[in-house]
Amino acid sequence: MPVIIGIIAIVLQLTLIPLISFDFILPDILLIVLVYFTLLKGQLFGTVYGFILGFLFDIFSGGLIGSAMFSKTLADLQPVISLAKTESIIT
């Protein structure tokens, strides 16, 4: 199910989101989906999910293979680290 949602997010990111851009500023729907599933299912799932979604985005966008794959894999780490720091401060 998360992969299907990720593919829908990739299609939206490549087709509809450029139509609503404001001075070439685009919201990253794929990153929002990635952070949601990372916080829901854990860091390991999010890292692999980010790798897969980034790879699929690179293939569908026709850009440089590996750029989105690398950035989505690294972007996955920040929410988990922030959540762990917040939980350690609270307890």
pLDDT digits (tens, 9 = 90+) for 20-57: 888 888 888 999 999 899 888 888 888 899 899 999 99
Cβ atoms of 2 and 37 within 8 Å: the answer is: yes
Cβ atoms of 55 and 10 within 8 Å: the answer is: no
The pLDDT mean for the chain works out to 84
Residue reference for tokens 């139509």 = 19
Question: Residue 81 is part of which domain span?
Answer: 29-86
> Is residue 56 in a domain?
yes
> Is residue 17 in a domain?
no
pLDDT value of position 66: 85
How many structural domains compose the chain?
1
Cβ atoms of 28 and 71 within 8 Å: the answer is: no
Give the percent of the chain with pLDDT over 70. Answer: 85
> Is residue 36 in a domain?
yes
The pTM for the full model equals 0.79
> Is residue 18 in a domain?
no
